[in-house]
Amino acid sequence: ASWHSCFNDAVIDPDHGAAVLPALAQALDSLPWEELAITRVREDAWLLDSSLGFLEHIPRLQREAGEPAPRVTLHPDRPMLSGPDNQELRRRLRRLQEQGTVRIGWEDAGITGREATVEFVAMHGRLKAYQQQTLTFTFGTATRDFPDWLAEESIAGRAGLFSVRLNGRMLGGSVILRAKAQSFSYRSAWDLDSAKYGLGVVLMTQAMAACGAAGDITFDLGPGREPYK
């Protein structure tokens, strides 16, 4: 092929933006790129902070409307949903409970929970292959290294795997990053055969409730137009 595309999917510690962004600018300057697209950036993102000089040297860069990225304010003393939406959530939970023992919550931290992350990575791959979307964990050594990374981050309290299990089997899971009283849904997936239970809504509402109980103030669902968001 006479061309190639690079897709960068980075998680950057916000405390070190002032160091990271100049390094990114230097990296961009060293590459003979022809087209640059920086997607899924909020209007208030520090990536757009002109004082950090990341985008100032790219005069052709233009802003366009992007995909919505819902951010929810958490209120631990209130139900996540109300009215008909809450009734529908309860109905979905009852359908699950009719099938056996349901466990919803955080997987174990550290090496103890590593196998759960391996299970999640495999489930994510099956879902994305079916949806014909990006198979994130197939790039490089991610399949091998991501479970180890999440094991370490979960011990530090900076990330965790929140899951829905039925009779011990994982039906859905979400990797959630946490910092400064904010939670971010990094990657979510569910078992294809169990999609009929509406696991997106079940998983996210319960994860948001758990993060709110842990003291987080906001929950970021990430960009996209999925119906459950």
Q: What is the pLDDT of residues 140-176, one digit of tens each?
A: 899 999 999 999 999 999 999 999 999 999 999 999 9
Q: Which has the closest alpha carbon to 118: 108, 103, 130, 104?
A: 108
Check if the beta carbon of residue 177 is closer than 8 Å to that of residue 186: yes
Over pLDDT 70: what percentage of the chain?
A: 94
- What's the rounded Cα separation, in Å, for the pair 158 and 126? 26
Q: What is the pLDDT of residues 96-136, one digit of tens each?
A: 999 999 999 999 999 999 999 999 999 999 999 999 988 99
- Which amino acid does the sequence have at 192? L
Give one word for 21, left, alpha or beta, with left for phi > 0 and alpha for psi -120 to 50: alpha
Query: What dihedral do alpha carbons 84, 88, 91, 95 form, nearest 10°?
Result: 170
pLDDT of residue 1: 40
Q: In whole angstroms, how far apart are CA 133 and each of 43, 101, 130, 136, 167? A: 26, 32, 8, 9, 29
H or E element, residue 118: helix 114-131
Higher-scoring residue by pLDDT: 21, 118: 118
Give one word for 223, left, alpha or beta, with left for phi > 0 and alpha for psi -120 to 50: beta
Assign 53 a pLDDT band (cuts: 50, 70, 90). Answer: low
Give the rounded distance of the alpha carbon of 67 from its chain centre: 15
Any idea what DSSP says for residue 148?
H
Any idea what DSSP says for residue 184?
E
Model pTM greater than 0.85?
no
Helix, strand, coil percentages (3-state) for the chain, rounded to 5, are 45, 15, 40
- What contacts 56, CB < 8 A, 6 or more positions away? 50
- What's the rounded Cα separation, in Å, for the pair 20 and 12? 8
> φ and ψ at 217, to 5 degrees?
-100, -35
Q: Which has the closest alpha carbon to 106: 175, 28, 165, 162?
A: 162
Alpha helices in 59-101 (DSSP H): 83-97
Q: What is the pLDDT of residues 70-95, one digit of tens each?
A: 889 998 888 888 899 999 999 999 99
- What's the rounded Cα separation, in Å, for the pair 11 and 212? 22
H or E element, residue 203: helix 199-213
